[in-house]
Amino acid sequence: MASDTTEQEIRLGISTCLLGEAVRFDGGHKRDRYVVDTLGAYFRFVPVCPEVEVGMTIPREAVRLVRSGGEIRMLGRTSETDHTAKMNVYAKRRVAALRKLNLSGYILKKGSPSCGMERVRIYTDKGMPVSSGPGLFASALMEEMPLLPVEEEGRLSDAALRENFIVRVFAYHRLRALFEGRWKLSELVAFQAREKLLLMAHAPAAQKQLGRIVADSRELGRVQTREQYSAGFMAALAKPAKRQRHTNALQHMLGYFRKLLSAAERSEIAMVVEDFHAGLVPLIVPITLVRHYVRLHDVEYLSGQTYLEPHPKELALRNHV
């Protein structure tokens, strides 16, 4: 399999049962329509079912997480068969193999003792729920690939979380394409310039901090620059882009039209931005208007901004935020 991130294909790891494959403990599946029918048109899925891959049968006894002697163990619900060591060894090996596939994101099955991203119930050995945390495989995945955008299928039904996840997936793909091979400082400078407004909409302080990393890159050296920039970039985009910050980014863009548009045209955009700020129209409305004028007047700096189209418009993610 090719592993070049500059290719068009964007790969997402996924819990196999979400694709409709009958791999669950009860012989069923958890096909997610949005994931399969909508996201499936844009991403290539890499399915992983940790329980089946570790050798458990279909159907099988359900497992749960149990806190025992300061450790989290994965035990059969009735038999208390201990799957912990096998699962941990498998997870380490499988995650190492996944690293080589250049994934740009991962969709996990909510609530699973293997795949759950968070809030998976953890029980006492007497069977009482005491706390919660990630499933064993998910925990290894997130520890080994801390920058990888990870989300659960349940949370993707929330418009803001969904938009944020897809923004991060495309951004991570761009980031890895940038740092693949022997990147030049001029490419990083151009990248930071293109991402400026997207970063402003998510985390303005981080956008400035990233600018400082770029400016200091000669002193930092290549490895430190890449690591610090990558961590800062993904952390910034993980912060939700609030309405006020979108408004600031949109108003910032308006400044570029000062000499190009008539007062009436500028006031039309300003009014639409105000409507968005007041929650009367979704983000796609001011964005569409701005894009129209950017195209019309060929505003080079703005036309290169990923903020204007951080993901395919057909996904309609900005129609609901």
Structure-block tokens of residue 176:
């890895």
Non-local CB neighbours of 146 within 8 Å, separated by 6+ positions: 231
Show the binding pattern over residues 275-304: x = contacts ligand SF4 (CB under 6 A), - = does not.
------------------------------
For residue 44, the SS3 value is strand
Asked if residue 163 binds ligand SF4 (CB under 6 A), the reply is no
Q: Return the range that interacts with ligand SF4 (CB under 6 A); candidates 71-79, 95-103, 106-114, 186-194.
A: 106-114
The only residue of 114, 207, 247, 306 in contact with ligand SF4, by rule CB under 6 A: 114
Distance, in Å, from the CA atom of 270 to the CA atom of 74, rounded to the nearest integer, reads 56
Asked if residue 88 binds ligand SF4 (CB under 6 A), the reply is no
Non-local CB neighbours of 281 within 8 Å, separated by 6+ positions: 272, 275
The only residue of 12, 17, 72, 203 in contact with ligand SF4, by rule CB under 6 A: 17
Nearer to ligand SF4, 50 or 232 (CB): 50
Non-local CB neighbours of 233 within 8 Å, separated by 6+ positions: 171, 175, 195, 199, 210
Asked if residue 141 binds ligand SF4 (CB under 6 A), the reply is no
Asked if residue 24 binds ligand SF4 (CB under 6 A), the reply is yes
For residue 25, the SS3 value is coil
**How near is the Cβ of 19 to ligand SF4 at its closest, in Å?**
9
Asked if residue 51 binds ligand SF4 (CB under 6 A), the reply is yes
Radius of gyration in angstroms for the set of CA atoms belonging to the chain, rounded to a whole number:
22
Asked if residue 139 binds ligand SF4 (CB under 6 A), the reply is no
Nearer to ligand SF4, 157 or 288 (CB): 157
Nearer to ligand SF4, 17 or 167 (CB): 17
237: closest CA among 318, 150, 168, 311?
168
The only residue of 35, 43, 50, 199 in contact with ligand SF4, by rule CB under 6 A: 50
Q: Are 143 and 173 in contact (CB under 8 A)?
A: no
- Which letter does DSSP use for residue 68 in this model? E
49: closest CA among 89, 96, 15?
15
Binding-site residue total for ligand SF4 (CB under 6 A)?
13
Distance, in Å, from the CA atom of 49 to the CA atom of 52, rounded to the nearest integer, reads 6
Nearer to ligand SF4, 137 or 165 (CB): 137
**How near is the Cβ of 172 to ligand SF4 at its closest, in Å?**
22
Nearer to ligand SF4, 23 or 241 (CB): 23
Non-local CB neighbours of 99 within 8 Å, separated by 6+ positions: 144, 145
Could you tell me the end-to-end alpha-carbon distance of the chain, in angstroms, rounded to an integer? 37
Asked if residue 15 binds ligand SF4 (CB under 6 A), the reply is yes
Residues that bind ligand SF4 (CB under 6 A): 15-17, 23-24, 49-52, 109, 112, 114-115
